Structure 1
Amino acid sequence: MADMRALDVETHSIPFFQRYGSAARMLHWSVACLVLITWPLGMMIGFAKKDVVSAFYLLHESFGFMVLWLMLLRVGNRWLTKPPQHSGSRPEKFAASVVHGGLYLALIIMPVSGFLATNAHGFPLKWFGLFEVWSPIGKTPDIAWTLSAIHTWSAWILLTLLALHLGAVLMHHVVRKDETLYRIL
């Protein structure tokens, strides 16, 4: 294992201590993969045939619920471990902090509002069809559409923040050719 770390440091010329910890990296990529599954599933619900809509909802909600729990673990990990310093100017560091904070916020608000909206519309979450998840609100039609709107808006905000995040990754990796990307790999 030590040899792999040395190779990693030599290959990317970034000291091991300047990388995110293994838990942070694992959580980052797990959430990223789940978002890349969950977001399109949610978008496809409106286009799916009626006989498969419930399957799309089941998968979308179940993966979204996993995003919520992984994000809560990410927040806990962030509180317990110090992330490596960002390189760049003060405005770049500020922009990175705002985008990362916005991503964290959107990735918590979106699954919470989706979960509550589904429940408020009268449909309990059945996680991958295995068991029903307890609902703190139950069927509440008065707030269902508000929660759905929050869920939809947070999805578009998330997409915007993700585009900014990926744009910054490309700028660092392709244009500046610096080591920023390797910190999270």
Structure 2
Amino acid sequence: MAELQRELGGSLGSVRRYPARLRLLHWIIAGLVLATWPLGLMIGFVKDAVKLDFYTVHESLGFLVLWLMLVRIGSRLTGTIPAVNGPALERLVAGLVHGLLYVFLVVMPVSGFLATNAHGFPLKWFGLVPIWSPIGKSPDVAATLSTIHQWSAWILLALFALHFAAVIFHHVIRRDETLYRIL
């Protein structure tokens, strides 16, 4: 901790950090996505005997991501966040990537939830709580929603890679306080 304080030229308290609720939501959602994304990718490779279990966990975690994202968006809209420093183009790209991350962290779970419903499998959240199905079985709609869900997953992965590359750039190359704002 002392090394970190020296590196920042003072105390960690001088870093303009995001509010605690946003930092907590950021890391919980990141952890859930890092568990949910590969779990969804693996579904195509598991035996039929356990495939439904994989779907249940994947969709339940995704549904949790959706609700946490809605809380995060509400917190972000009703609170203040620290201003971003840097060149205008860099701030524009950062804002665009963050905005798209938020969009796809809502689009992906919504499309997955609706696709599963349209395939005729309403969600029973973590196998315990039945969730109302807003649409009935509809194979044509299911195919479209599944495509949206799959494309959203790959777009989200690309956005995550950009976000992570920016974190590395700021922390290793620039050696600025960007990473510490969210810790």
Q: Which bracket does the TM-score occupy, shorter chain normalised?
A: over 0.9
Give the TM-score taking structure 1 as reference length: 0.92
Task: Output the CA distance in 2 between the equivalents of 1:72 and 1:23.
Answer: 13
| Alpha-carbon shift at residue 10 of structure 1 (Å) | 4.5
Decide which of 116, 119, 131 is 2:114's aligned counterpart: 116
1:109-134 CA-to-partner distances (Å, cap 9, x unmatched) read 00000000000000001101002100
CA distance in 1, matches of 2:76, 2:52: 36
Among 139, 157, 169, the residue aligned to 2:167: 169
Identical positions, percent: 60
* 1:128 paired to 2:126: yes
Map 1:41-56 to 2 at 5 A: 41-56=39-54
Aligned length: 179
* Pairing 1:32-111 to 2, within 5 Å after superposition: 32-111=30-109
Deviations 1:74-98 (A, max 9, x none): 1000101121111210000000000
Rounded to whole Å, the distance in 1 between the matches of 2:115 and 2:32 is 20
Alignment partner of 1:140 out of 132, 138, 141: 138
Moved beyond 6 Å, runs of 4+: none
Q: Distance in 2 between matches of 1:163 and 1:53?
A: 28
Aligned partners of 2:117 and 2:136 also within 8 Å: yes
Deviation at 1:139, TM superposition (A): 1.3
* Aligned amino acid, residue 117 of structure 1: A
Structure 1: 5+ residue stretches without partners: 1-6
Structure 2: runs of 5+ lacking an equivalent: none
Matches within 5 A, 1:145-156: 145-156=143-154
Shift of 1:17: 6.9
Give 2:49's aligned amino acid.
Answer: D
SS of the counterpart of 1:18?
A: coil
Alpha-carbon distance in 1 for matches of 2:14, 2:110: 35
Amino acid at match of 1:37: A
Tell me the amino acid that sits aligned with residue 101 of structure 1: G
Residue 82 of structure 1 aligns with an amino acid whose one-letter code is T
Kindly report the root-mean-square deviation, in angstroms, between the aligned alpha carbons of the 2 structures.
1.7
One-letter code aligned to 1:106 = F
